[in-house]
């Protein structure tokens, strides 16, 4: 019940479909915030466009609902202008991996002090079910009526390679892990990324014989293998599975706004040499 103070209850019920997993992810984010003691008045939550990006409307803190794909770029401006504020990005898989893919890899590379939670339902929900870069190969979508031919991104490996310093993946079936990873991401100093697989029974499930949300959660349970299990498995056995767990965690890399503040401090002794 304590989490209710994090919600704008007057704007509930939310607009997500029955059975949608986004409420589970949002609930996990709020529980993680409670666990680490997030200051509600010194936190800005930023989103892009899409189903998951509407989450910011229901969060009772400073919130920014931006343009499609650009949440991390807006968040970068906020964090640089006010490094003392905690900045969290909630965005969907299409938002982060397709139209906003460039911002994702560069926010990770800079090690911007932002926590990014990816709501990965493998589909464009708000535009009614077209494929995203995270739609698993072979599955049907509105724009892949014969089964999706493209390979999907492993977003965690992508951001880790790009320079993110905390990377983890979970699902809406594994709620306790999700809360734990988001909590660790929130206390991490640097760019932290948590991908959460979430079910879209309406647009993903219906086309792929999983219209029932329970079936989708079952699918997550069956598909998921831990990092440790995956390490012992052969590549062919891993096909079609999704690896969950913590992939990367380091605080050896300087967080970007801290580096910039150090530059400002260093220069302040010298004054503005160009001053008239």
Partner 1 sequence: MSQPRLMQGNEACVEGALEAGLRFFAGYPITPSTEIAEMLAERLPRVGGVFIQMEDEIASMAAVIGASLAGVRAMTATSGPGFSLKQENLGYAAITETPCVVVNVQRVGPSTGMPTSPAQGDVMQARWGTHGDHPVVVLSPSSVVETYVLTVKAFAIADELRVPVVLLSDEVTAHMRERVVLPDPGTLPRGERPRAGRAPSDVPPMVHFGEGKRVLVTGLYHDPSGFWTENPEEADRLIRRLCGKVESRREQLTMVDRWYLDDARVAVIAYGCVARSALRAVRMARERGHRVGMLRLACLWPFPRHEVTAVAGRVEAIVVPEMNLGQLAGEVERAACGRCRVVGYQRVDSELIRPEELLPVLEEV
User: Is residue 205 a contact partner of residue 213, using CB atoms and an 8 Å limit?
Assistant: yes
Nearer to partner 1, 96 or 216 (CB): 96
Shortest spacing between CB 181 and partner 1, in angstroms = 25
Nearer to partner 1, 50 or 245 (CB): 50
- The residue range among 90-98, 121-129, 172-180, 262-270 that interacts with partner 1, by the rule CB under 8 A, is 262-270
Among 14, 35, 65, 249, binds partner 1 (CB under 8 A): 65
- The residue range among 82-90, 121-129, 137-145, 187-195 that interacts with partner 1, by the rule CB under 8 A, is 82-90
Interaction between residue 82 and partner 1 (CB under 8 A): yes
Nearer to partner 1, 80 or 211 (CB): 80
Please measure the distance between the N-terminal and C-terminal CA atoms of the chain and give it in whole angstroms.
59
Interaction between residue 221 and partner 1 (CB under 8 A): no
Shortest spacing between CB 53 and partner 1, in angstroms = 10
Interaction between residue 40 and partner 1 (CB under 8 A): yes
Q: What is the dihedral of CA 69, 70, 75, 78, to 10 degrees?
A: -160
Among 23, 27, 57, 136, binds partner 1 (CB under 8 A): 57
Nearer to partner 1, 68 or 223 (CB): 68
Interaction between residue 127 and partner 1 (CB under 8 A): no
Interaction between residue 77 and partner 1 (CB under 8 A): yes
Among 64, 142, 161, 253, binds partner 1 (CB under 8 A): 64
Nearer to partner 1, 252 or 274 (CB): 274
Interaction between residue 163 and partner 1 (CB under 8 A): no
Distance CA 23, CA 172 (A): 9
Shortest spacing between CB 108 and partner 1, in angstroms = 11
Interaction between residue 14 and partner 1 (CB under 8 A): no
Residues 6+ apart with CB under 8 A from 191: 107, 108, 110, 111, 112, 113, 114, 116, 159, 163, 164, 165, 166
Contact characters 83-102, partner 1, x per CB under 8 A:
-xx----------------x
Interface residue list for partner 1 (CB under 8 A): 8, 11, 40-42, 44, 46, 56-57, 60-67, 70, 73-82, 84-85, 102-103, 106, 260, 263-264, 267-268, 270-274, 276
């Amino acid at each position: 019940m304590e989490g209710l103070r994090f919600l704008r209850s007057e704007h509930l019920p939310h607009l997500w479909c029955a059975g949608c997993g986004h409420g589970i992810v949002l609930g996990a984010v709020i529980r993680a915030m409670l666990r680490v003691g997030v200051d509600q008045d010194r936190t800005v939550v930023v989103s892009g466009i899409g189903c998951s990006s509407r989450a910011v409307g229901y969060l009772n803190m400073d919130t920014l609902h931006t343009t499609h794909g650009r949440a991390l770029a807006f968040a970068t401006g906020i964090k640089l202008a006010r490094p003392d504020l905690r900045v969290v990005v909630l965005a969907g898989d299409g938002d982060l991996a397709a139209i906003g893919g460039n911002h994702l890899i560069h926010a990770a590379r800079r090690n911007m002090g932002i926590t990014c939670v990816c709501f990965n339902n493998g589909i464009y929900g708000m535009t009614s079910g077209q494929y995203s870069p995270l739609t698993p190969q072979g599955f049907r979508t509105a724009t892949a009526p014969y089964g999706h031919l493209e390979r999907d991104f492993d977003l965690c490996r992508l951001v880790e390679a790009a320079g993110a310093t905390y990377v983890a993946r979970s699902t809406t079936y594994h709620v306790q892990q999700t809360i734990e990873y988001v909590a660790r991401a929130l206390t991490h100093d640097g760019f932290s990324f948590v991908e959460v697989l979430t079910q879209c029974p309406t647009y993903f499930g219906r086309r792929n014989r999983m219209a029932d949300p329970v079936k989708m959660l079952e699918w997550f349970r069956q598909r998921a293998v831990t990092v440790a299990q995956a390490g012992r498995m052969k590549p062919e056995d891993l096909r079609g599975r999704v690896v969950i767990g913590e992939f990367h965690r380091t605080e050896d890399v300087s967080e970007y706004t801290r580096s910039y503040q150090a530059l400002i401090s260093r220069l302040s002794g010298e004054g503005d040499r160009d001053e008239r």
